A and B are shown apart, each in its own frame.
Chain A
């Protein structure tokens, strides 16, 4: 019995560090960012953090461009480096750069940036008043932001369910915190944070349970392994269907599809507006990337079983999104329901189950992301003495007071409605035609109806801004610093450019091709 301590050689995992360079750059920067919080003096922190954040995000984009055309699995086949993954990661990074511009803004609010001076201080308490008077601001948002972006880069690229779960947690946990850090209306913000955390924890548990079911069926976490097990399996799919359903709950929660959308309006309303903008765009991109990968790579073989489920979810998501949005009186809640409706439109690309489906989904996410960032940037500019003026009645006559800002907002609303010559039209056209080619014509008919209804409430705000009399004591539009101005300019430019000249990005999305197994 001397075999008790047999020296079995453990094989070294294959790990090409160059192929996950964007991830390493962002996570490395996040770690340095924590150290900056620890060792740099308070007065200098903001500057160091800003340099670090923008340098690392731009370096990650450069590393990503260098990887273009790579199709390989790395890190023991747990991370896929393929066209769609690179495209999604690029979208997340570019949106995160614009989002970081909004988070860095500090001349809109007279007291400083959009975040509470100290998150642990009691809302409305003495400590908070003293810190605000002393002009304190915290810079912890930056490490949280970078960790979140890192998780978003990993989420659409993970090639096994366990890595995907870790990525899901890495991107979610900082978001729960960021949602609760608003400087104004702190109780609402903390409530949003708590709701998001509790529901998000539930949905993560669902995801994990689904993972366990699929592992029980296939004996592997790898998406390709699950697909192999499915193709070699005759009939008995009970465990698979349970796993798919539970996994879908976790992923559909993150993209805010009905009936897993309840958190969206509350969290979007309560979170600081720059964080809402970041959350509404980057999370959607990352989560749709993961949803596409799971559904296409692992579960492509049982698509006839999950397609009907996604058909129904797409239909109710679009209808609930647009119908409930009509009844909203708060601009942030309205944008939240609009984002729910858009999740339904993007699901059309997912149910197409084709290369065109992947390409159109990715194009839609990029187009929608930039318009949404711009729209929330405008929301952060319209303020009264107590903070942002988000009630719709306060927006009446805004076009007469500041035609430029109202005009920019109109452009984004037209893009959301899908009016030609904006990015919204091209992207809706792309997902609709992909879904028709994929045999989902009934869903597309509902989608067209939903677009018409959505055009109504977007148009209502445009009419309100330009043709209603300005309210007495109404809010004023604050002149932002270069950060928000640049973010707005990028949003406008991309929205117009993708409407007038969509072909280059469409081609890029089509070249990205299919998922690697």
Chain B
């Protein structure tokens, strides 16, 4: 229990400060809305294009996102393997090759089916 006290204290302080600033701002702050106020603040650029009308994104964004995840996961496995390549030895090498070949087959499918073309 004693070990948790610093964490709880810190959490409590953070929550107190957050609540305090939000409440104070809503009581004291002036309310003048303009366009700049509704923009994203220090959170990257505006997503483009904005969903128009019904708020739908073209499905190709999802396709790109899924492809990104496939390669992202591949990196997640490749990196630790590369770091301990020596210790994993031949067995690790064969396993990684079979993993990469599997992904390559999927990649070939996506490429041949036009998944990499934007239009």
Which of A's residues lie within 8 Å of B, judged by CB?
7-10, 12-13, 15, 31, 34-35, 37-39
Of the listed residues A12, A15, A38, A39, the one surrounded by the most CB atoms of chain B closer than 10 A to its CB is A38
Can you list, as one digit per residue, whether each of B78-114 has a CB less than 8 Å from chain A (1) or not (0)? 0000001011110110000000011001101101110
Which of B87, B89, B109 is within 8 Å of A35, CB to CB? B109
Instruction: Knowing A38-B112, A38-B113, A39-B112, say if A31 contacts B87 (CB, 8 Å).
Output: no
Nearest to B91 among chain A residues (CB) is A12
* Contact A7/B108 with A13-B91, A38-B113 known, Cβ cut-off 8 Å: no
Can you name 22 A-B pairs with beta carbons within 8 Å? A7-B86, A7-B87, A8-B87, A9-B87, A10-B84, A10-B89, A12-B89, A13-B91, A15-B91, A31-B101, A31-B102, A34-B106, A34-B108, A35-B108, A35-B109, A37-B109, A37-B112, A37-B113, A38-B105, A38-B109, A38-B111, A38-B113
Chain A residues with CB under 8 A of B106: 34
Closest Cβ of chain B: how far from A421's Cβ, in Å? 49
**Extra 6 A-B pairs, beta carbons < 8 Å, given A15-B91, A35-B109, A38-B112:** A10-B87, A10-B89, A35-B105, A35-B108, A38-B105, A38-B108
For the complex, what is the distance from the CA of A9 to the CA of B89, rounded to whole Å?
10
Q: Number of A-B pairs whose CB atoms are under 8 Å?
A: 34
Complex: how many Å from CA A39 to CA B113? 9
Q: Is the CB–CB distance between B105 and A34 below 8 Å?
A: yes
B44 to chain A, nearest CB (A): 30
Smallest Cβ distance from A119 to chain B, in angstroms? 12
- Chain A hits for B102, CB < 8 A: 31
Q: Could you say which residues of chain A place their CB within 8 Å of the CB of B86?
A: 7
Contact-residue size bin, chain B (C-beta under 8 Å from the other chain): 10 to 19
A288 CA / B108 CA spacing, docked (Å): 36
| Bound form: Cα–Cα A8–B108 in Å | 38
Interface residues of B (CB under 8 A from A): 84, 86-89, 91-92, 101-102, 105-106, 108-109, 111-113
A9-B111 Cα distance, complex, nearest whole Å: 40
Q: Let me know if B88 and A10 touch, CB within 8 A.
A: yes
Most chain A CB within 10 A, of B88, B92, B109, is at B109
Residues in A whose Cβ lies below 8 Å from that of B89? 10, 12
- CB-defined contacts of B92 to chain A, threshold 8 Å: 10
Report chain B residues within 8 Å CB of A12.
Answer: 89, 91
Q: Identify which of A7, A9, A10, A13 gathers the most chain B CB atoms within 10 Å of its CB.
A: A10
Min C-beta distance of A337 to chain B, whole Å: 36
In the complex the two chains form, what is the Cα distance from A35 to B102 in whole Å?
A: 10
A7 closest partner in B (C-beta): B87
Chain A residue at minimal CB-CB distance from B112: A38
Contact A39 B87 (CB under 8 A): no
Say whether A39 contacts B108, CB under 8 Å. yes
B contact residues around A9 at 8 Å (CB): 87
Q: Which residues of A contact B113 (CB under 8 A)?
A: 37-38
Considering the complex of A and B, which 7 residue pairs feature the smallest CB-CB distances, nearest first?
A38-B112, A38-B109, A12-B91, A10-B87, A38-B108, A34-B109, A34-B105
| Residues of A with C-beta under 8 A to B112 | 37-39
A82 smallest CB distance to B (angstroms):
25
Q: How far is the CB of A343 from chain B (nearest CB, A)?
A: 34
Residues of chain A within 8 A (CB-CB) of B87 are: 7-10
Name the distance in Å between A180's Cβ and chain B's nearest Cβ: 15
Kindly list chain B residues whose C-beta atoms are within 8 Å of the C-beta of A35.
Answer: 105, 108-109
The CA of A38 and the CA of B106, in the complex, are separated in Å by 9
Please measure, in the bound complex, the distance between the C-alpha atom of A31 and the C-alpha atom of B91, giving whole angstroms: 21
Residues of B within 8 A of A31 (CB): 101-102, 105
In the complex, how many angstroms separate the beta carbon of B68 from the nearest chain A beta carbon?
19
Query: Closest residue of chain B to A40, judged by CB?
Result: B112
CA of A242 to CA of B113, assembled, Å = 46
Q: In whole Å, how far is A71's beta carbon from the nearest beta carbon of chain B?
A: 25
Q: Which residues of A contact B111 (CB under 8 A)?
A: 38
Q: Which residues from B are CB-within-8-Å of A39?
A: 108, 112
Q: Which residues of A contact B88 (CB under 8 A)?
A: 10
What is the CA–CA distance of A6 and B24 in the complex, to the nearest angstrom?
54
A39 to B104, CA, bound (A): 13
Residues of A within 8 A of B91 (CB): 12-13, 15
A31–B101 CA distance with the chains assembled, in angstroms: 9
How far, in whole Å, are A491 and B28 apart by their CA atoms in the complex? 79
How many Å lie between the Cα of A37 and that of B113 in the bound state? 9
Which residues of chain B are within 8 angstroms of A8 by Cβ–Cβ distance?
87
CA distance A7 to B105 in the complex (A): 34
Specify which chain B residues have a CB less than 8 angstroms from the CB of A15 in the assembled complex. Answer: 91
Distance, CA A328 to CA B86, complexed state (A): 64
